[in-house]
Amino acid sequence: MSLKTKRLLPGILLIAAALAVTSLTGQEPVDQGDARVMITDAALPAIDRGLRLQDTLADPGDPVSLPLIDGDRSEPQRGDALEGSIIVKFRREVDREEAGREALARLGGTRIERREFTDWDILHIPVTTDVEAAAALMAERDDVEYAQPRYLNHQMYRPNDPFYNLQWNMTALDMERAWDIQPGATSNVIVAVIDTGVAFRSGTYRFNSRFPFRLVAGGPVYPALGQVDIPFAAAPELGARDRYVTPRDFIWGDDEPLDMDGHGTHVAGTVGQLTNNGIGVAGMAFNVKIMPVKVIAGEWDFIFGAPNGGTDDIVAQGIRYAADNNAKVINLSLGREQGGPAPVVDAAVRYAVGRGAFVAIAAGNSRERGNLPNILGNVSPTLSGAVTVSAVGKSLAGAYYSVTSPAVELTAPGGDLRADSTGGVIQQTFDLDLLQTFRRPVAQFGPPRADSFAYYYFQGTSMATPHVAGLAALLFQQGITSPDAIEEAMKKFATDKGPAGRDDEYGVGMINPRATLRGLGLAR
Amino acid sequence: MTVRTLVRVALLPLLAALLPASAAGQGIDVRGYGMIGSITFTASDSFESVVGNDSGRLLGGGVEVGLPLGGLFVGVGGSRYRADGSRVFVTSSRVFTLGIPTQVTVSPIDVTAGWRFRQLSRRIVPYVGGGWSSYRYEETADFAAPGENINERYSGYHLLGGVDLRITRWLGLGGEYVWTRIPDALGTDGASAFFNETDLGGSSLRVKLSIGR
């Protein structure tokens, strides 16, 4: 080794060492893309923060509250329907492959896709094609049973600023005497909560927030958070893991329907919150099994780049999945007021009822915004075994937001926070202060926590619907085991409201659980 | 009530006319009896849905007095039907049993006037009659609030015909058929309203063991 080399050696070693360290510490993390990854299924116990008041008023019934992501989205959206694809159901006798190829050629489409729990296809067409026109064009074909755009649905509630004595809704329904007859059903009855997911398990999940976003057009832009680890906990008042059966997430395409919104957890609480345990509030059918099926994307799902949104086809998949997995009651506190008919959802609801599941559908909250009924409820008046549910407030008068429509068949407590600040339906869900960090100023924006819970008053036909679903579960346990008979029983014993007989505000009236469960004697 | 039943009941008075009493001048006969029988309610769908059967056992007894006017007799009897069932929900195609225990009790009281045809035989005496009926209807069920159970009495009428077999001078065995109509006792609520059945009456076949003359 020359002297010159000896002099250079320390420097070379230093550079080599530095490179080695750099190559270790500077290693780029594996890009997980939009996928979410479970880091650990262990988590700290859930935090119960008691009764909370919510600071911000949002209106999830209004489509503009959906986040507008400034970045690449696998399926861009415009209006209330996804662009770039439509739903097509070819007639059974038709060669689907051939008809699909022909349709693609006509629409300039790229591929045809058949997903699980479907009997229809997704036709991928150019993003520039008007999806409503394309669907109308397809619907005219003789080999097509129906075709429709992939309309986006949303949860039907209105969270607002804000235990059993606060549950005026249970008192109004005379639930204590109803539970004397049928104490909360049993684990033999499965109720599918098809919604934004349910806080059904604990664990820490890693998400990737890759793009800046803004909540409202013209609003502040929130930064991308990069990879974030989010703690999840099961809602303490919904019970242990064995409370849930066959969970499914059609937004993320896996079996982890984690609620990142709070709506589904609140709805599940009204259906089956643990009751008579000395904690929190009560649920209608507190012993049933809950099947969490996620078909609606919350803001965080969009922010983290979930591969699917709550389109009609995703909702229909969820309904068919629930029916195929032995759900006896399906709660649909979701829907849309804009866009055309939803034959794909109508067919799924008919399929579910045909499989023996009772379906409860929210009527919609747009009474003061054009009184546009939930399009997903249009199927129910012609289908015995599915009902569309409007909402009453604490005074048992129709809630200001609850739509009036020929589709309304029954009414139930959904709350009216305009009339009374404690007039909502109270249930446990996430502590929204810690979950909805995107409602803070940009400087305070950060990753959410989904392991902290509180009791919130929500209002909406979303909140009314699970009362009906819960009663359906109780009736199923009591012995009325067919969806059409459940509907008939509910209507027979409903308490008439408004003008005598059926009307568009209350349907045939407010559900009367105690009378319905008690049924008929010989002479009385 | 079937046409055949009506014809049978109608023929009995005719028989009475053809066979005038020959026992005029006899004294007053008094007999007591015990009875077991089977009643089939006219409101068959209502009873079947709630208690599982439109027929049931009838137990009772009474007193009959033979007047010294040929074959004329009067009597008063009481009986009771009781069945356990469950409250239900009924649709046009199915009855759903709700598992809520229900007890139905019907307690008829029949006041009857009739005619015995003693001249046919000393031991075998046919008779016909008719009269006023009062049925107490009780329906109780678990989870009933005040006013939801029923304990009401309804009135109607009955027609009957039968045969007495005198085993000894003081002991007799008889069989009779009774048709009763108790209108508007049912049908305003419950399963009976669904089935549009309003009559609490029915037809019963009874076996009577009597002591006395």
Partner B contacted by A180 (CB < 8 A): yes
The CA-CA-CA angle for residues A328, A265, A489, to 5°, reads 35
Quickly state the pLDDT bin for A28 (edges 50, 70, 90): very low
User: Which of A347-351, B86-90, B120-124, B129-133 is predicted least confidently?
Assistant: B120-124
| CA-to-CA dists, residue B187 to A137, B50, B93, B104, angstroms | 56, 14, 19, 15
Q: Name the CATH architecture for the domain at B3-16+30-212.
A: Beta Barrel (2.40)
CATH number listed for the domain at residues A81-151: 3.30.70.1510
Quickly state the pLDDT bin for B155 (edges 50, 70, 90): very high
Closest approach of A372 to chain B, Cα-based (Å): 33
* Higher-confidence position of A354 and A12: A354
* Residue in A167, A284, A304 with CA at minimum distance from that of residue A230: A304
Half-sphere exposure of A228 (CA within 13 A, CB side): 18
> What pLDDT does residue A7 have?
52
Contact B50 A521 (CB under 8 A): yes
* Higher-confidence position of B123 and A53: B123
- What does the domain layout of chain B look like in residue ranges? 3-16+30-212
Tens digit of each residue's pLDDT (9 = 90 or more) over A142-153: 999 999 999 988
**CA dist., res. B87 & res. B196, Å (int):** 17
Tens digit of each residue's pLDDT (9 = 90 or more) over B18-29: 444 444 446 899
How many other C-beta atoms can be found within 10 angstroms of the C-beta atom of residue A419? 14
Contact B190 A480 (CB under 8 A): no
B99 dihedral zone (left: phi>0; alpha: psi -120 to 50; beta): left
B192 contact residues in A (CB cutoff 8 A): 522-523
Quickly state the pLDDT bin for A300 (edges 50, 70, 90): very high
Q: Which of B41, B44, B87 to mutate to test the interface with A (most CBs of A within 10 A)?
A: B87
Report residue A385: phi and psi, to 5°. 125, -5
Contact B141 A479 (CB under 8 A): no
**Coil, strand, or helix at residue B124?**
strand
> What pLDDT does residue A32 have?
58
**CA dist., res. A486 & res. B35, Å (int):** 44
- What does the domain layout of chain A look like in residue ranges? 47-61+154-518, 81-151
State the amino acid at position A424 in one-letter form: G
Residue whose pair of structure tokens reads 């049973």 in the numeric block:
A145
A519 contact residues in B (CB cutoff 8 A): 87-89, 96, 98, 100
Contact B89 A518 (CB under 8 A): no
Contact B137 A180 (CB under 8 A): no
> What pLDDT does residue A13 have?
46
Domain A47-61+154-518 has CATH 2.160.20.70: no
Half-sphere exposure of A130 (CA within 13 A, CB side): 5
**CA dist., res. A426 & res. B53, Å (int):** 47
Instruction: Indicate the residue of A480, A481, A518 with minimum beta-carbon distance to B100.
Output: A518
CA A485 to chain CA centroid, nearest Å? 27
**CA dist., res. A145 & res. A350, Å (int):** 15
Tens digit of each residue's pLDDT (9 = 90 or more) over B38-88: 999 999 999 999 999 999 999 999 999 999 988 999 999 999 999 999 999
Closest approach of B59 to chain A, Cα-based (Å): 21
Report residue A191: phi and psi, to 5°. -110, 120
| Contacts with B101 (C-beta within 8 Å, 6 or more apart), sequence order | B84, B85, B86, B141, B142
Task: Please count the residue pairs, one from chain A and one from chain B, whose beta carbons lie less than 8 angstroms apart.
Answer: 84
Tell me what the mean pLDDT of segment B127-132 comes to.
98
DSSP structural state of residue A518: H
Closest approach of A179 to chain B, Cα-based (Å): 11
Tens digit of each residue's pLDDT (9 = 90 or more) over A90-140: 998 889 889 999 999 989 888 899 989 999 999 999 888 899 999 999 999
| Contacts with A274 (C-beta within 8 Å, 6 or more apart), sequence order | A237, A238, A239, A280, A283, A286
CA A487 to chain CA centroid, nearest Å? 23
* Higher-confidence position of A52 and B19: A52
How many other C-beta atoms can be found within 10 angstroms of the C-beta atom of residue A14? 10
